[in-house]
Amino acid sequence: MDLDFLQSLERERVLEVLQRDKQLRLMEEDRIRRMKCELQELRRRGAKSCARQYGERTCARCQRPLGKFWNSGDVCRGCSHRICSKCRVGVGAADWKCTVCHAYRDVKIRSGEWFLEEKFKKFPVTENKYETVGETLLKTYNVLSHISVVPPTPPPHLDQQFLSRSGSLKNSIPFTKSVEDLMVSFTSHMRKISTSQSDVQGGLLYVDGGRKGSCVTFSSQKSLSDTDINKSSRLFKVPSLPNLFKRSKDSDHEGSSTGAEEETSFSSEYSGGKRGSNSSICTDGGRFESIGVAGELELALAYSGDASCLEITVGACRNLSHGDARRRRCHPYVKFYVLPEKSGKMKTTVKKNTTDPVYNEVLKYQIERHLLFGKRLHASVWHSGTLRRKVFLGEILIPLDGWRCEDKASQCFNWYPLCPKAEGPDGGAAEQD
């Protein structure tokens, strides 16, 4: 899709409309972010925790004990947790959901997530399913249009860099090839800034609103430098595996050890673990069926200083591959390790017959805060098949160093796209290293 067939005036006109659309989109993104933060709050309050010793007979939301015969609770069809009668929302005795599942559904509707999912079913090729046609066009043509050279009022701390840069651009009007290149890199750069700039605006808007249950990420971003903003915008947008590595390297230089060292020690540990017999990653390594890795995993990480443990809140997965492709079945669960030691194996419950499981479970890993440095969280999604056969559905790696555990509110839920196994199906790169 391009606008090349339009005359320049027409193109300008269309880009103006798209700019207007962008303003609306930014407002919408801010609204959605706020909504998701509220949902996370609710989840945190009502999440089933594995660390606490309690049996089946408590309500997973209010943690009130459930009786054997009277007020015995019932299983929520959304999250398969046992829920007391007070923590249910919905009409009728049969058609109800627990408070968290209901809120999740509500957010899915109000954020337009339903629409993106439907659209994704028909047009699965789109690189970024959140991106609209207008957004794509605008990005492409920002390079050519002079509208883009005057960005909508940058925040104060960016002023100097910004003006000097755009100033130099204006001076270099003769359109040589090199200038064009510069322009391209500039706009891509500017795009990054403007995404995070929108966050800042969002934050300001938010503060004005004076609401509670806050989302302090924005205000903290205001004090960041230019490159930091790029970094954090990347964090927001694409936490895919390569980027996570890059990010961890970026943040590593604050500390003593370098990213390269980390990498090798991690991979040797990893392959070492492969030899061990107690690891199910390795036992499955040779046997896992080659199914396409798809979908995303929603996680929120928090460090609880009081209990000195890492709290991993597993929200949900979506659009997973079918573990049993032939019968279109999927009973997914999520497993965690902390690397490089490969310690603290943790698992969620298994959800039956769904490629969009909702967990809402908190897993806790006891560790002193300073020991988090250099650690990575390895999360993998598995299908629990018949006869204990497991099928690998995808994994993610999250560096735990450089990750600021202090500001509680930044630990919103994030969707991480699942990646194929880091080491190839038969040993592969990680082992050779």
Partner 1 sequence: MTDGDYDYLIKLLALGDSGVGKTTFLYRYTDNKFNPKFITTVGIDFREKRVVYTASNTNGTTTGKTFKVHLQLWDTAGQERFRSLTTAFFRDAMGFLLMFDLTSQQSFLNVRNWMSQLQANAYCENPDIVLVGNKADLADQREVQEKQAKELADKYGIPYFETSAATGAEVDKSVITLLDLVMKRMEQCVDKPPAEPANGNGATKLSEAQPNEKKCAC
- List residues near partner 1 by CB under 8 A: 1, 3, 5-6, 10, 13-14, 17, 20-21, 23-24, 27-28, 30-31, 34, 105, 108-110, 112, 114-115, 117-119, 121-123, 132-134, 205, 328, 353-356
Say whether 417 sits in a helix, a strand or coil: strand
- The continuous run of DSSP H or E covering 390 comes out as strand 390-399
- 117 versus 226: smaller Cβ distance to partner 1: 117
- 151 versus 259: smaller Cβ distance to partner 1: 151
Q: How far is the CB of 120 from partner 1 (least distance, A)?
A: 9
Q: How far is the CB of 114 from partner 1 (least distance, A)?
A: 4
- 14 versus 224: smaller Cβ distance to partner 1: 14
- 24 versus 371: smaller Cβ distance to partner 1: 24
- 54 versus 114: smaller Cβ distance to partner 1: 114
Which tokens sit at 10?
């027409």
Q: How far is the CB of 296 from partner 1 (least distance, A)?
A: 15
Q: How far is the CB of 316 from partner 1 (least distance, A)?
A: 12
Of 392, 394, 377, residue with least CA distance to 296: 394
Q: How far is the CB of 82 from partner 1 (least distance, A)?
A: 22
| Start-to-end CA span in the chain (Å) | 43
Distance CA 157, CA 161 (A): 9
Q: How far is the CB of 230 from partner 1 (least distance, A)?
A: 25
- 91 versus 150: smaller Cβ distance to partner 1: 91
Using an 8 Å Cβ cutoff, are 288 and 277 in contact? Answer: no
Cis peptide before 340 (omega within 30 of 0): yes
Distance CA 28, CA 32 (A): 6
List phi, psi (to 5°) of 310.
-90, 125
CA torsion angle for 319, 321, 326, 332 (degrees, to 10)? -90
Q: At what angle do helices 113-122 and 99-110 cross, to 10 degrees?
A: 70
